[in-house]
Amino acid sequence: MRGLRVRLWQGGLLLGFLLLWEWASRTGRIDPFFFSYPSEIAQRVWRWFATGEVYPHLYVTTVEMLLAFALGTLLGVALGLWLALSPKAAAVLDPYVKALNAIPRVVLAPIFTLWFGLGILSKVALGVTLVFFVAFFNTYQGVKEVPPVVLQNARLLGARPSHLLRHVYLPAAASWIFSSLRTSIGFAVIGAVVGEYLGSAAGLGYLIAQAEGVFDTTGVFAGMVVLMAFVLVLDALVGAVERRLLVWRPKEREGGTA
């Protein structure tokens, strides 16, 4: 019942916002040229899906996002584990990791386009740079948070480094890693869409850029709605996987305590 009540509040808040937006546009409180109408945006989204116009663009963005998400996560988790378990290597590479993380990713988009062209590689490369650091820092911190007492007890029981990695470090960092995955999905999509926006022949970013080029505000907002729904579906899928894999984690009670 508590979940249903939350969903009702969420739906009511969204409905109220859309009704207020529609009313303000219809009565001239806001200029529909800049904000369009929610009803027209819904009609555009419906037409895109009914005619199949949006499916090729969704496919391209999905492929780019999945590749960036998978590669960035694997590299981030692997390097995070390595540096967390190798203090000397972490001390040497620490300033380089921080320096690379400080580079604005948007600045890299034109460089990747120059290096890899307008194809899928430039979008994947940009997405990887966004996902990598999220996965890396969460994995690194998750491993560092393992209590020393747990490690000492495991070693006393004869656990070898491979056993510690499998039965101590990875389970301890699992919550951190899955937390990074929820965030990384959005960053992977951002990388793909920004790359498409700067130069491509297909994708949701291309669709939005085309609409913006002809001052089609309805098309821009419709593309944003499809993009938001796309990310929410992916986030729900990762959340379902997280709940299935982390069954040992205590659930939060209504008061917010475990």
Q: Which residues of 189-211 are buried (b: 16+ CB within 10 A; e: fewer)?
A: bbbbbbbbbbbbeebbbbbbbeb
pLDDT value for 255: 44
| Contact present, 231 and 185 (Cβ < 8 Å) | yes
First to last CA, the chain: 19
To the question of domain 37-245 being in CATH 3.10.450.30, the answer is: no
Query: What values do phi and psi take at 69, rounded to 5?
Result: -65, -45
Tens of pLDDT along 111-134?
888 888 878 888 888 889 889 988
pTM, two decimals, is 0.77
Q: In the chain, what percentage of residues exceed pLDDT 70?
A: 85
Block residue for tokens 């859309």: 18
Q: How far is CA 116 from CA 59, 124, 201, in A?
A: 20, 10, 15
Q: How far apart are CA 62 and CA 188, in angstroms?
A: 10
